[in-house]
Amino acid sequence: MVVVVNNLAGNLTLPRLGPECTVSADGEVTLDTVQMANAATIAAVGVRRGMPEQAVVVALATAFQESKLENLDNGDRDSVGLFQQRPSQGWGTVEQIKDPRYAAGKFYSALKKVKGWQEMRVTDAAQTVQRSAYPEAYEKWADESRVLAAALTGRATGAVECTVSGTPAVRGAEAATALLASLKLDWGKKLPSTAAARAAGLTVDVSNVNTGWRYAHWLVSHASATGLERVRFGDLEWHAPVGKWQPVTDGSAGNTAQVVAEVFS
């Protein structure tokens, strides 16, 4: 299967092999499951740090340009990771930078120090952090990044759809425990203390619809590697083999106080 990232402004395409995720929120972006998981982690780190949605847009555009949202082992000179940060320039050790959460956190910390970044073009804000030899390059990813940010911060409903096939990487209670641990790593104290793993999956209590879709979209984004089979929120549910959000047909529809995730047994 060929997966294509569609640039709304320039029709730039990137060939990808593997399962696909489609994000629809005033535009459409298609990624492979590795890219999707990394994008969701970048967004989660921004939200839990209290950064506005525009910061998530800048971070995603930067990672698009620097690594195509892939956690690279190498790059120009000693650059590594999603943002191609360099140990020799004080970004951290190779091991630290290769952790997507650490790398995203360092990017947001640097962006926050830039005076007036909120009013800058995406490419100018990114360039103040990255100091790239190609300062205009980030702008071509601005449209895709806005689509992803709208979905991953929870402003869009049922916007992240990933098709997952084949044998689950992990199952049952082991999958549920690992899934909750990953949620906690990405979301930190933002994750409600009531979030709990069950033998068949996990539940996350949420205070509003926006927060619910943040977690629901994060779960779907990470489904491929976590043994996730189903996610339910409000009147919709996502099922791995189908990959689409569809109306809930049993009697449990309408619950917007809790995100429910089920893993393969």
pLDDT for the residue numbered 13: 41
193-216 tens-digit pLDDT = 999 998 899 999 999 999 999 999
pLDDT higher than threshold 50 for residue 87: yes
pLDDT in tens, 19-45: 599 999 999 999 999 999 999 999 999
What is the DSSP track for 64-117?
Answer: HHHHTT--BS--STT-BBTTTB-GGGTS--HHHHTSHHHHHHHHHHHHHTSTTG
R_g of the chain, CA atoms, integer Å = 18
Strands (E), 78-182: 160-162
| DSSP assignment letter at 24 | E
Give the pLDDT of residue 132. Answer: 85
- Per-residue model confidence (pLDDT) at position 5: 35
**Per-residue pLDDT at 252 exceeds 80:** no
Average confidence (pLDDT) over 71-80 = 86
Q: Over the stretch 167-183, which tens digit does the pLDDT of each residue have?
A: 998 999 999 999 999 99
Mean pLDDT of 15-19: 47
Strand partners, 260: 203, 232
What does the pLDDT look like over 102-137, one tens digit per residue? 999 999 999 999 999 999 999 999 999 998 888 899
pTM score, whole prediction: 0.91
Predicted confidence band at 10 (pLDDT cuts at 50, 70, 90)?
Answer: very low
156 close to 213: Cβ distance less than 8 angstroms: yes
Residue 44 half-sphere exposure toward CB, CA atoms < 13 A = 29
Share of the chain above pLDDT 70, in %: 92
- Looking at residue 15, its pLDDT comes to 44
Give the mean pLDDT of 132-148: 93
What is the chain's mean pLDDT, rounded?
A: 91
